[in-house]
Chains A and B, each alone.
Chain A
Amino acid sequence: MESHDQDPTTESPAAGSEDPTTSHAAGGHGPVPSGGDSTGDAAAAAPRRLYKSRDERMIAGVCGRIAEYFGIDPVIVRVIAVARVFAGGAGLLAYVAAWLLVPEEGALASERPGRTATIAGAIALVLAVGALTPLWSGPFGGHWSGPFVAIVFVGLAGLGVWYLASGEQPAAGGVRDILRRAGFGLALLAVCAVLAVSGAWATAAGGGTVVAVVIVVLGVWLVAGAFIGGARWLILPALALALPAGVVSAADLDVRGGVGERQYHPLAADQVRDSYRLGVGQLIVDLRDARLPAGDRRLHIDLGVGQAVLVVPRDVCVATSAKLGAGQVSVFDRDSGGVDVDWQDVRTAPPGRTRIVVDGDVGVGQLAVTYQDADAIRHGGFHDDTQPGNRTCIGGARG
């Protein structure tokens, strides 16, 4: 059973018994003249209330109603709201809070939030603005803002998740109900986060088929639940499992090669492997001292997430083909990046020369072929080449 903390003023005969639209005019939603209110003292004494506008709305009617409340053009409020959104996000946060906590214009008194809810909403707004303002050097600067930002964001996120998952109307109930919903919403968020991470990791670790089957089963369960009832709560967890698994699949992300930094420095041709693999981290293969014989030497590099750097001697020709889910390929002074990157750099070596044929497969990250010093890369990071490479090749085409 819902409990509502009613604002006493809404229960008064003068204001509470009125038709909401009448109350809009008399109760003072808009600017009220200082004297001569024809509806009487009780109505004149009633506080002006903020409601979401039904007529003047672009999204939820918040800006339109604020404009009416202060008697200004709604466009001005919208411009300020949009500016606040791009000034770090406080505008968005405040808008979401108002959307959740401010009642609809014309809503019945029982549907309006009570005084406690209004105070809670006002506190949330003040906390949100006060906590986020220091992020762009506002007047409340200080180290204390971090936890408040987290609390406000997480609390509002939990509340929003609850309203979305339950299908309940926002702004119903007192502060206890709001906290309860925020708690349930947070719990649902936590479950979804665990599912998302677990599904993504399982997919990346080779369990993609099992995860896909589980997703199909959840979908069938939801379809059955649509007829039996009581399965709508499953939508969010199912999406939380399916979408990250989809991202991992699209990136061809494979973390089975291990985690960390790997550096290979073969000192002879027979020490060079056909394939180098790493799950997450930095992989450096230094072939400068491998003394590769003339002819083709094929090399497969498989990286889940991170950076793979192939260091080659200057007297070899390097042909590269690579596939990246998301990231960048950098072959000497040439590069390409983005999502779904397919890199083809076909090169031909002159007779008697060595050609390294690289086949790269990277989930998310960077694949680089360079002449830079491997130790310098390991300690100082990889820097984009500015000098052209592959001078020993006699022809090439990049596709």
Chain B
Amino acid sequence: MASSRRPDGPSLVAGVSIALVGVVLLLDHTGVLDLRFAALGPIVCAVVGAILLAGGLAKRD
């Protein structure tokens, strides 16, 4: 029987964001890219902002 349960938005957004951060760190440590603070700052803001936004929208549902 197919489940109609909706995925948990904050967990989904946080999971994708954190996995992307992990990929960026992996690329940095393997020398594919050079991570600097100028890039890390916006990345952190985007991740935290996306998680908070997803949490806020989930509460409104």
A complexed with B: yes
Return the contact of B19 from the options A209, A216, A232, A246 (Cβ within 8 A): A216
Residues of A within 8 A of B (CB): 167, 203, 208-209, 211-227, 229, 231-232, 234-235, 238-239, 242-243, 245-247, 249-251, 325-326, 339-340
B: interface residue count bin:
35 or more
Return the contact of A218 from the options B7, B8, B18 (Cβ within 8 A): B18
> What chain A residues lie within 8 Å of B8 (beta carbons)?
225-227, 229, 231-232
Decide: A249 near B38, CB < 8 A? Known: A215-B22, A222-B14, A242-B22.
no
Q: Is the CB of B18 within 8 A of A226?
A: no
Q: Is the CB of A246 within 8 A of B21?
A: yes
The answer to whether the Cβ of B53 comes within 8 Å of any Cβ in the partner chain is no
Q: How far is the CB of A308 from chain B (nearest CB, A)?
A: 20
Q: Is the CB of B18 within 8 A of A250?
A: no
> What chain B residues lie within 8 Å of A219 (beta carbons)?
14-22
Q: Is the CB of A249 within 8 A of B37?
A: no
The answer to whether the Cβ of B46 comes within 8 Å of any Cβ in the partner chain is no
> What chain B residues lie within 8 Å of A225 (beta carbons)?
8, 11, 15
Q: Is the CB of B11 within 8 A of A220?
A: no
Residue of B nearest to A208 (CB): B29
Q: Is the CB of B28 within 8 A of A249?
A: yes
The answer to whether the Cβ of B57 comes within 8 Å of any Cβ in the partner chain is no
Chain B: interface secondary structure?
helix
Once bound together, how far apart are the Cα atoms of A325 and B41, in whole Å? Answer: 13
> What chain A residues lie within 8 Å of B16 (beta carbons)?
219, 223
Residue of A nearest to B51 (CB): A235
> What chain B residues lie within 8 Å of A249 (beta carbons)?
25, 28-29, 35, 40
Once bound together, how far apart are the Cα atoms of A8 and B38, in whole Å? Answer: 56
> What chain B residues lie within 8 Å of A242 (beta carbons)?
18, 21-22, 25, 47
Residue of A nearest to B44 (CB): A243
Decide: A235 near B29, CB < 8 A? Known: A216-B23, A249-B35, A340-B37.
no
Decide: A246 near B43, CB < 8 A? Known: A167-B59, A219-B16, A219-B21.
yes
The answer to whether the Cβ of B4 comes within 8 Å of any Cβ in the partner chain is no
Return the contact of B10 from the options A213, A218, A235 (Cβ within 8 A): A235
Chain A: interface secondary structure?
helix
Once bound together, how far apart are the Cα atoms of A208 and B27, in whole Å? Answer: 10
The answer to whether the Cβ of B1 comes within 8 Å of any Cβ in the partner chain is no
Return the contact of A235 from the options B7, B14, B40 (Cβ within 8 A): B14
> What chain B residues lie within 8 Å of A227 (beta carbons)?
5, 7-8, 12
Q: Is the CB of B18 within 8 A of A222?
A: yes
| Given A217-B22, A221-B15, A239-B48: 9 more A-B contacts, CB < 8 Å | A167-B59, A222-B11, A225-B8, A226-B12, A227-B7, A235-B10, A235-B18, A250-B40, A326-B37
Can you identify 6 A-B contacts, CB atoms within 8 angstroms?
Answer: A209-B30, A227-B12, A239-B47, A246-B43, A249-B28, A326-B37
Q: Is the CB of B37 within 8 A of A232?
A: no
Q: Is the CB of B36 within 8 A of A250?
A: yes
Nearest 8 CB-CB pairings of A with B: A219-B19, A222-B15, A215-B22, A216-B22, A223-B15, A226-B12, A226-B11, A212-B25
Once bound together, how far apart are the Cα atoms of A226 and B9, in whole Å? Answer: 7
Q: Is the CB of A223 within 8 A of B11?
A: yes
Return the contact of B29 from the options A209, A222, A231, A238 (Cβ within 8 A): A209
> What chain B residues lie within 8 Å of A213 (beta carbons)?
22, 26
